[in-house]
Structure 1
Amino acid sequence: MIFDFNLGLGTVLLVLIALLVSTFRILREYERGVVFMLGRFWKVKGPGLIMVLPGIQQMVKVDLRVVTMDVPSQDVISRDNVSVKVNAIVFFRVVDPQKAIIQVENYFVATSQLAQTTLRAVLGKHELDEMLAERERLNLDIQQILDAQTDVWGIKVTIVEIKHIDLNENMIRAIARQAEAERERRAKVIHAEGERQAAESLRQAAETLAREPAAMQLRYLQTLTQVAGDKSSTIVFPVPVDLLKGLVAGVAPPKG
């Protein structure tokens, strides 16, 4: 009988020690514990050493670090009726552990589903050219919408980045042809602008030479010097029209 009493006392001591050990919890710096007492929310504890009474209190750990979530590829139809596949990445973190546990069943799944629907909704309002050229503005629009909708869950969406926009082969070829046509158009515009500037420079030079007749003679002599230095067997000798008029007037017989 004494043996049974000692055995029972030892068991009780072991149970008490186990309960005492399970009462103390250690939470890391980036962790918080949402504590419920008899099923009702009590307080948020941590980090460090905390006490949770077994059987009376229950604790749910929440990680406060930034979570990197990959948004799967979404089929998006742009405003100009182009079908594309778009995937993105979302960075968010828990700022209110109480809301993250009480207001939503699984904040990670909820944020993921909301990010997918928001990505389709926002990109569907823009044309393909805007998706390709204005990613920063689209990233900001998606981030602001997600942040506003997840605020009631205690979630802060910090960054949204569109990673890749996948186009089919026909659309890629069409974009290549469009880019080639755009480059040709720019080349023609640049060439025409160069011709206009050259014509303007020639007009200004002609006006300067017209005001100074001696300048025309100097220009003529400079041209002769350039022709004389040419080793070609054929020499084109330019003769000013004014000079020919003077020669014709000098050799013409007098009237009467």
Structure 2
Amino acid sequence: MEFLVYSPQIFWASVIFLVVLILLSMFKILREYERGVIFLLGRFYKVKGPGFIIVIPLIQQMVRVDLRTVVMDVPSQDVISRDNVSVRVNAVIYFRVIDPQKAIINVENFLEATSQLAQTTLRSVLGQHELDEMLANREMLNDDIQEILDTRSDAWGIKVSNVEIKHVDLNETMVRAIARQAEAERTRRAKVIHASGENEASSALVEAANKLAQEPNAILLRYLQTLTEIAGEKNSTIVFPLPLDLISSLTKSLNKDKE
């Protein structure tokens, strides 16, 4: 039976190797956009970084936190608007960690928590508005959602900088209904514009008639001008109405010439 022979050289080599491993594990390098949340025997100690830091093994533990802006896509949400229209809406949010201590201690997973909060807030805010407001006032809705998210996530050390609604998807029935509504609106505007034009034209005709009535010869000149315009079109037959007053005045002038 063989026995292990104690060797001082092997013992000290093992000790030196373990010491080197411990020393190497103490040294950490954090990038400019990273911070390290240090816990001492399970209790929060401080936030360190960026750069070269020392973490004592077995006594201290470190959790890395990324401070860069996170772009998170909010999955499509089924929303019923205030006017009872069912739509699917998705959005994108931009946020970053401004307090690493709160982001690690106050919430288990700040990324998942922010995602779930964004989904519920999106449904809640859009459900308070009508469909026309969703389609026309996206900037206002973006600001409202961003303000609510920023306020509620402040306890987690999160700063929501921007929210953008990307798509508002409608079913085919609503698309056809909106198209009919838009067509009716354009028809209404066309009728209003036509009526407004008729009103302005009638006012102008009344004013012109009043001016022509002030001078009897003015209407004769107008008729002659109209005849000139018609003759330029080279029509074979011209039917031109003449007022009785004009014919009687011409007859009187001819009779005076004969006398």
Distance (whole Å) between structure 2 residues aligned to residue 111 and residue 81 of structure 1: 28
Distance (whole Å) between structure 2 residues aligned to residue 35 and residue 16 of structure 1: 22
CA deviations on 1:151-201 (whole Å, 9 max, x unpaired) are 111100011111111111111111111111111111111222222222222
Distance (whole Å) between structure 2 residues aligned to residue 5 and residue 207 of structure 1: 129
- State the match for 1:215 in structure 2: 218
Distance (whole Å) between structure 2 residues aligned to residue 250 and residue 181 of structure 1: 59
- State the match for 1:135 in structure 2: 138
* 1:146 and 2:149 are equivalent in the alignment: yes
Distance (whole Å) between structure 2 residues aligned to residue 122 and residue 42 of structure 1: 39
The answer (yes or no) to whether the contact 2:220–2:246 under 8 Å persists in 1 is no
Q: How does 1:100-249 map to 2 (within 5 A)?
A: 100-247=103-250
Distance (whole Å) between structure 1 residues aligned to residue 235 and residue 252 of structure 2: 33
Give the superposition deviation at 1:248: 5.6
Percent of residue pairs identical: 67
Cα distance, 1:212–1:30 mapped onto 2, change above 3 Å: farther
- State the match for 2:72 in structure 1: 69
CA deviations on 1:99-138 (whole Å, 9 max, x unpaired) are 1111111100111111111011000101111111111111
* 1:95 and 2:98 are equivalent in the alignment: yes
Deviating more after overlay: 152-161 vs 189-198: 189-198
Pairs aligned (count): 252
Distance (whole Å) between structure 2 residues aligned to residue 207 and residue 2 of structure 1: 133
- State the match for 1:59 in structure 2: 62
Letter in 2 for 1:58: Q
- What TM-score do the two structures reach when normalised by structure 2? 0.91
Distance (whole Å) between structure 1 residues aligned to residue 30 and residue 23 of structure 2: 17
Deviating more after overlay: 64-73 vs 221-230: 221-230
Distance (whole Å) between structure 1 residues aligned to residue 186 and residue 174 of structure 2: 18
- State the match for 1:30 in structure 2: 33
Q: Quote the RMSD (CA, aligned, Å).
A: 1.9
Distance (whole Å) between structure 2 residues aligned to residue 180 and residue 211 of structure 1: 47
Deviating more after overlay: 224-233 vs 38-47: 224-233
Distance (whole Å) between structure 1 residues aligned to residue 216 and residue 146 of structure 2: 72
Deviating more after overlay: 149-158 vs 240-249: 240-249
Letter in 1 for 2:162: I
Q: Aligned with 2:153: secondary structure?
A: helix
Q: Aligned with 1:53: secondary structure?
A: coil
Runs of 5+ consecutive residues of structure 2 not aligned to the other structure: none
Runs of 5+ consecutive residues of structure 1 not aligned to the other structure: none
CA deviations on 1:59-117 (whole Å, 9 max, x unpaired) are 10000011111111111111111111111111110011111111111100111111111
Give the superposition deviation at 1:48: 0.8
